Amino acid sequence: MNSRRRRRLQRFAGLVLLTTLLMVSSTQAQADGCASLQRSIKETYNFSPAKLSEDEKTAKSAAMDRVWDAVKNNRATLLPCLRAAVADRSANSFFRFDGSNLLLSLDPSRESKLALIDAYTQVDLGDVNLRVWVGRLALMGVEGFDVSEASDKWLRFPNAFYFLPEHGAYKVTVDNGALFLFGSMDEAHATPALLKIVSDKSHPGRETALWALMNQATPESLQALKQINPREFSPNAQKSLNALLTGPVLVQPRAQPGNTRQEFVTAFESLLAGNGRAFLDLVSRVPDGEKDVVAVLKPEDLPLVRKVRRRIIANGSQHSIQFYNSFTSILMAFIWKPALTQ
């Protein structure tokens, strides 16, 4: 072997050794970082927020901020460690809730969203801000995720309510929250989940689920409602269910609509893109615009209408409920047929 080839082989061997050493060093650094983060998590998240005094909450808040800052300042090393910690179902459930929010803020990937949904589903609802909990899950529902297990948990929680200070201290009840959660989901996820709850005679949220199921306004939900024994529910629910199955009052199309199909489609698409101005302008001009919508839209537009309805209800206010009901009446005018309910 000549000296030039020998030198090349020596340089190559040196590079391989250097690369190996760097990889080992990086792996060791990450392992050390993960161990340090895990210690901080266990030392910090060793409590239930519902059991803390105000002074204790202040102190713990500062400690949690330090954990968040550590991950933010060293994302490359600690983000994988945080992901693994959040995925650990044996960890403190409030940490998993809080940590999943941090994870999503740093990495808004599908994997992070699934981790968040699992953490939100497992957390003790007495420990969290219910408005944040419902609102984030509703947005996940809009994105197409199945949040039905968490929604079921909401219906079982004895203190399922919160207030909206900026909306006149409006009280979001268990029924409202159920509509925000199940209404934001794709009906393919929501309808079977609601039917399962309605069919469970021991479920505390059974009647609330029935109301949500009656609002689904899909052929599948109408057919599912035929399976329900109305005598197992309150007189008010029996009356509404009977009316829906036998002959609901449907929105009638306006003979001379003041808005075109394209105007509605454009407004709906803009709203889904984040700009609701055109939609609100239509609502302002024509308060009973449902009559125009059912006059000019076509059956192929219904998936768009459903997406808009899901997006609006996820906003989570009394105004969202009003709009949701309006879109439900539109959908029902298109899909209700005696053959589906008899």
Q: Helices in 88-234 by DSSP H: which ranges?
A: 93-106, 110-122, 130-142, 148-156, 174-184, 187-198, 206-214, 219-225
- Whole-Å CA distances, 270 to 276, 279, 294, 304, 333: 6, 8, 19, 11, 24
CB 133 within 8 A of CB 125: yes
C-alpha–C-alpha distance, residues 154 and 169, integer Å: 21
Residue 324 placed within a domain: yes
| Phi, psi dihedrals of residue 170, rounded to the nearest 5° | -60, 135
pLDDT of residue 118: 98
C-alpha–C-alpha distance, residues 277 and 333, integer Å: 26
Selection from 182, 184, 207 nearest residue 192 by Cα? 182
Residue 186, pLDDT above cutoff 80: yes
Residue 194 placed within a domain: no
Taking all residues of the chain, what is their mean pLDDT, rounded to a whole number?
92
Count of domains forming the chain: 2
Token pair for 77 = 């090393």
Q: What is the mean pLDDT of residues 126-151?
A: 98
CB 178 within 8 A of CB 154: yes
CB 307 within 8 A of CB 186: no
Torsion of CA 130, 185, 145, 188, to 10 degrees: 150
Of 123, 152, 183, which residue sits at a domain end?
123
Residue 210, pLDDT above cutoff 90: yes
Residue 266, pLDDT above cutoff 90: yes
Residue 67 placed within a domain: yes
Of 88, 123, 158, which residue sits at a domain end?
123
pLDDT of residue 26: 47
Q: How many residues does the structure list for the chain?
A: 342
Residue 286 placed within a domain: yes
Q: What percent of the chain lies above the pLDDT cut of 70?
A: 91
Residue 322 placed within a domain: yes
CA 109 to chain centre: 15
Of 123, 143, 164, which residue sits at a domain end?
123
C-alpha–C-alpha distance, residues 79 and 87, integer Å: 12
Residue 255 placed within a domain: no
Residue 132 placed within a domain: no
Query: Helix (H, G, I), strand (E, B), or coil: what is residue 90?
Result: coil
pTM of the entire predicted model: 0.89
| Phi, psi dihedrals of residue 172, rounded to the nearest 5° | -80, 115
Residue 22, pLDDT above cutoff 50: no
Residue 313 placed within a domain: yes
Per the structure, the complete domain to which residue 332 belongs is given by 261-341
Q: What is the mean pLDDT of residues 275-281?
A: 95
C-alpha–C-alpha distance, residues 260 and 296, integer Å: 6
**DSSP codes joined into one string, 200-245:** -TT-TTHHHHHHHHHTS-SHHHHHHHTT--GGGS-HHHHHHHHHHH
CB 317 within 8 A of CB 164: yes
The contacts of residue 154 (CB under 8 Å, 6+ apart) are 125, 134, 160, 174, 177, 178, 181, 205
Q: What is the mean pLDDT of residues 113-120?
A: 98
- 162-164 and 170-172 beta bridge pairing: antiparallel
Cβ neighbours of 209 (radius 10 Å): 25
C-alpha–C-alpha distance, residues 182 and 138, integer Å: 8
Structure confidence by residue, pLDDT tens digits, 214-243 = 999 999 999 999 989 999 999 999 999 999
Run of H or E residues at 27 = helix 3-44
DSSP designation for 91: S
Residue 23 binned pLDDT confidence (cut-offs 50, 70, 90): very low
CB 203 within 8 A of CB 197: yes
Selection from 152, 173, 129 nearest residue 317 by Cα? 173
Residue 169, pLDDT above cutoff 70: yes
Residue type, 207: E
